[in-house]
């Protein structure tokens, strides 16, 4: 049984925990993390979900994703999910999420890394992942358009590719 820490609308921990699968209390949110790995050729490492997964069976997805469990912070959740799903150890101690997206039930922190990884050397979590491979932006957008990729907004997928090269970029002023 998995438990999540709960946060208020300002992302302040409430000290409460919540059992996964139960409706969230009003005004409470949980944390989700994604790790998106690109190689030095600009391709994204993508994973195919198992056919028996409740959500999005058999569809392709970004590298890693999952909920933070009770006691996790964003970074430790991202490191844990990457190790669990791919058998890959990443050190995010000097990283921050490159993007945070609020959604109805919580907050999604997205880490973007560049690493050349051999997909054949990864130890895939049998309960979650059936395959991994490298894919270009064009391939992923085509997969998304024909229903083989989780139906993220097209612009979101394009933003991930744009952010892979924008390390340290920020908006310095408005207007």
Task: Give me the pLDDT at residue 167, please.
Answer: 61
Residues of the chain with pLDDT under 70: 167-175
CB contact at 8 A, 74 and 109: yes
Annotated domain spans of the chain: 30-163
Q: Residue 166 to residues 25, 46, 55, 169: CA-CA distances in angstroms?
A: 37, 20, 31, 5
* CA dihedral for 74, 79, 84, 86, sign (positive or negative): positive
Task: Tell me how far CA of residue 158 lies from CA of 102, 138, 153, in angstroms.
Answer: 18, 9, 9
Q: Report the pLDDT value the prediction gives residue 139, as an integer from 0 to 100.
A: 98
| Structure confidence at residue 49 (pLDDT) | 97
**Nearest to 151, CA basis, from 162, 164, 140:** 140
Architecture field, domain 30-163: Alpha-Beta Complex (3.90)
pLDDT of residue 56: 95
Q: Give the pair of three-digit tokens for residue 128.
A: 């979650």
- The residue with tokens 């699968």 is 21
Residue for token pair 């709960």: 6
Give the span between the Cα atoms of 150 and 65, in whole angstroms.
12
134: β partners: 45
How many angstroms separate the CA atoms of 142 and 54, rounded?
A: 24
Retrieve residue 121's tokens.
Answer: 């050397």
CB atoms closer than 10 angstroms to residue 29: 23
């Amino acid at each position: 049984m998995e438990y999540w820490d709960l946060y208020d609308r300002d992302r302040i921990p409430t000290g409460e925990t919540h059992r996964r699968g139960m409706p969230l209390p009003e005004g409470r949110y949980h944390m989700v993390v994604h790790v998106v790995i690109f190689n030095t050729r600009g391709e994204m490492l993508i994973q195919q979900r198992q056919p028996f997964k409740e959500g999005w069976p058999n569809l392709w997805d970004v590298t890693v994703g999952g909920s933070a469990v009770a006691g996790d912070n964003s970074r430790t959740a991202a490191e844990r999910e990457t190790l669990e799903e791919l058998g890959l150890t990443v050190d995010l101690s000097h990283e921050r999420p490159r993007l945070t997206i609020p959604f109805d039930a919580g907050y999604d922190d997205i880490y973007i890394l560049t690493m050349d990884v051999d997909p054949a050397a990864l130890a895939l979590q049998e309960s979650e992942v059936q395959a991994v491979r490298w894919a270009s932006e064009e391939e992923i957008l085509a997969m998304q358009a024909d229903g083989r990729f989780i139906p993220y907004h097209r612009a979101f997928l394009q933003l991930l590719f744009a952010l892979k090269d924008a390390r340290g970029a920020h908006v310095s002023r408005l207007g």
